[in-house]
Amino acid sequence: MVINDNCQMEKTINGVKYYLPSNLTLEQKAIYVHIIDWKRKNITTERGMYKGHEYDAIFPNDTTIAYSGGYPFSISGDIRSVPS
Distance CA 36, CA 30 (A): 10
pLDDT value, residue 34: 92
CB 9 within 8 A of CB 19: yes
Other C-beta atoms closer than 10 Å to the C-beta of 83 total 3
pLDDT value, residue 65: 65
Distance CA 31, CA 59 (A): 16
Per-position pLDDT tens, the chain of length 84: 444 445 667 888 889 898 888 888 999 999 999 999 988 988 888 888 888 888 888 888 877 666 655 555 555 554 444 444
